[in-house]
Amino acid sequence: MIVLGISCFYHDSAICIMKDGEILFAGEEERFSRLKHDSQFPSLALRAGLDHCKIEADEIDKVIFYEKPFLTYERIFETIMELAPRSFSLFYDSLSKIIKNKLFIKSTLRKHLRKTLKNEDYVIEFCEHHYSHALSAFIPSEFEEAAILCIDGVGEWDTTTVWHGKDGVISKKYSINYPHSIGLFYSLFTEYCGFKANSGEYKMMGLAPYGEPIYVDIIKDNFIKVHEDGSIRLNTQNISADFRSDLVMSSLDKILGSKKRDSEDISQFYKDIASSVQQICEEVVEKMIIFALDKCNSKRICLAGGVALNCVANGKIAKKIGAENIWIQPAAGDNGGAIGAAMSGWNKKISNFRPTLGTQYSSEKIKNIIDSKSLKYQEASVDLIVNDIINKKVVAIFQGRMEFGPRALGNRSIIAKSAEPSMKALLNEKIKKREGFRPFAPIVLEKNMGKLFKDAYKSPFMLFTQYSIGNIYSATTHVDGSSRVQSVSEENGLVFDILNEYESRTTEQALVNTSFNIRGEPIVESPQNALDCFFDSGIDSLCLGDFYIRKSDNNKDFIFFESREFLKD
Ligand SMILES: [Fe+2]
């Protein structure tokens, strides 16, 4: 049976194609539409998925949507009634979107699917939002039995849920309902600190180590009550239950003090706020995990939902309950809901999950594109790449299948020297254009993790921060000594070979790995995207499949680098 899982119409739209319990393909719409966090129906990702799997459109048996829109409608309608008449603006904003896309969701889905799937014999089903998160965390995990904790902004009514998983089947044990949401709480403060909600949360997390948690008490007194079991109550007097941004911001200004917000030049006040909010988040997540383990009488936990991407909180939990007892879905946000939806009804575990589930391009296709632009290239080799890195060049890697989820894990990555004091500034100035306070992440061979990090453990999907021993890897070590490290094994292919060769020639054991994109743009998907990004940035060399292109070998006429405005992300 071929099943299509879909998540869309909120943010990070995605699809997943499963056949008899095997994930054949998963992809986010943003990679194809080139609109970051694209929320539209994922038509382009679907087309790419069908092509990749060589599946004919009429072979899809079932389509499963990652949410039950009627329950979402009920939640929004009740919130409106509770806050009327002030909530009429919410009525128009939210309900018009819902009516347009979700209320008549079956016909909306069929209308979009009709453009790609020629017949209409498939069945359309719906699964609860947190059920799809929970499946995406448990079914591909390494555990036969585990507690499952999903924490996000909101899905239908749920903001936090605990499930128990055993032998491929999950059952719900507990939930916290809207508006009491640690995810929405974190997003509000993300916006308060001048970042974009629903995408800037990882920047808040990166900002936190620069501050002191001196506002924890005042935030807890006025905005959030944290109970011993990790459950929370938001103070809806100060955080309006519809989370209307202008009202909440003025309430935060009134209680915490109005200060000029500027995400490019952040004052100490906002660093302290970030530190305080991060501390509260860590406290809640830790308590919830202990509660979930206890509730399910389990020793192991699986995590999903956007809050599960808080790798600082994850690192602290790993230390407490043992990293071997945690498994986190790398696409923990709503994109991963497409995977969970596709798994709905499967009721069996799947093994050997890897997040490299996207498109792949043949050597022939890549060569045709390179030749069409008359670019000079060499045959790619580990030797060429390592030579360039040693010479402090920045190398982009495009190989194998695209990663699904927010992290580039070596297939769509930019690699550079980490033990180089100027590298962070150079990467920011020439390529990433991002805020200077944010560190880059390292890749380290699994066998070397213990040499570089205290209490080290495997972290193949870059979901935990660990604390460095020493500080020679300056580009990838945060101000508090932490690193969001990816441990690399043979399964990672080229980056594994690069790290091995680099170590043998330099004795250095870490390199920078940052996603292959420039600020405001999604990670590159195609060879054309890769070439555009390469020539539109300060990247020195590009390993494009089997071909190695150096900017210095190519005539400047081919270089379309120009000064440009970067979208805020
Ligand atoms: Fe979610």
Q: What is the pLDDT of residue 569?
A: 58
List, as own/partner pairs, every contact residues 170-175 make where C-beta atoms lie below 8 angstroms and the sequence separation is at least 24, other chains included.
170/131, 170/134, 170/135, 170/138, 172/130, 172/131, 172/134, 173/292, 173/295, 173/296, 174/291, 174/292, 174/295, 175/130
- Three-state DSSP at 26 gives strand
Pairing of strands 482-483, 466-467: antiparallel
* Cα–ligand 1 centroid distance for 130 (angstroms): 7
- Per-residue pLDDT tens for 411-422? 999 999 999 989
* Cα–ligand 1 centroid distance for 240 (angstroms): 21
* Cα–ligand 1 centroid distance for 501 (angstroms): 41
- Per-residue pLDDT tens for 370-383? 999 999 999 999 99
* Cα–ligand 1 centroid distance for 8 (angstroms): 11
For residue 471, pLDDT over 90 is answered with: no
- Per-residue pLDDT tens for 166-216? 999 999 999 999 889 999 999 999 988 988 888 889 899 999 999 999 999
* Cα–ligand 1 centroid distance for 67 (angstroms): 9
* Cα–ligand 1 centroid distance for 152 (angstroms): 5
Lowest mean pLDDT among 71-80, 348-357, 470-479: 71-80
Phi, psi of 208 (to 5 degrees): -50, -40
Angle at 230 between CA 225 and CA 232, to 5 degrees: 35
Q: What is the mean pLDDT of residues 523-531?
A: 96
Q: What is the mean pLDDT of residues 9-32?
A: 95
List, as own/partner pairs, every contact residues 448-456 make where C-beta atoms lie below 8 angstroms and the sequence separation is at least 24, other chains included.
448/503, 448/509, 448/510, 449/485, 449/487, 451/509, 452/485, 452/509, 452/510, 453/483, 453/485, 455/319
For residue 99, pLDDT over 70 is answered with: no
* Cα–ligand 1 centroid distance for 411 (angstroms): 26
Q: Which residues line ion ligand 1, judged by CB < 5 Å?
A: 152, 155, 334
* Cα–ligand 1 centroid distance for 336 (angstroms): 9
28, with CB counted inside 10 A (0-12, 13-18, 19+), is: buried
32-50 as b/e: b if 16+ CB within 10 A: bbbebbbbebbbbbbbbbb
* Cα–ligand 1 centroid distance for 10 (angstroms): 9
pLDDT range class, residue 262, cuts 50, 70, 90: low
* Cα–ligand 1 centroid distance for 154 (angstroms): 6
* Cα–ligand 1 centroid distance for 149 (angstroms): 12
Question: Half-sphere exposure of residue 509, counting CA atoms within 13 Å on the CB side?
Answer: 17
* Cα–ligand 1 centroid distance for 560 (angstroms): 39
- For the record, the structure tokens of 397 come out as 């890697």
For residue 407, pLDDT over 70 is answered with: yes
* Cα–ligand 1 centroid distance for 160 (angstroms): 10
* Cα–ligand 1 centroid distance for 419 (angstroms): 38
CA-derived radius of gyration, the chain: 23
* Cα–ligand 1 centroid distance for 151 (angstroms): 8
Lowest mean pLDDT among 44-58, 231-245, 289-303, 375-389: 231-245
- Per-residue pLDDT tens for 310-322? 999 999 999 999 9
Domains of the chain: 2-130 (3.30.420.40), 182-282 (3.30.420.40), 363-558 (3.90.870.20)
Angle at 134 between CA 131 and CA 140, to 5 degrees: 130
Q: What is the pLDDT of residue 102?
A: 61
* Cα–ligand 1 centroid distance for 58 (angstroms): 30
Lowest mean pLDDT among 107-116, 305-314, 487-496, 500-509: 107-116
The residue behind tokens 């790449």 is 385
Q: Which of 211, 212, 237, 242 is nearest to 222 (CA)?
A: 237
pLDDT range class, residue 437, cuts 50, 70, 90: confident
* Cα–ligand 1 centroid distance for 110 (angstroms): 23
* Cα–ligand 1 centroid distance for 305 (angstroms): 5
pLDDT range class, residue 114, cuts 50, 70, 90: confident
Lowest mean pLDDT among 48-57, 401-410, 547-556: 547-556
* Cα–ligand 1 centroid distance for 159 (angstroms): 8
* Cα–ligand 1 centroid distance for 150 (angstroms): 8
Q: What is the mean pLDDT of the chain?
A: 90
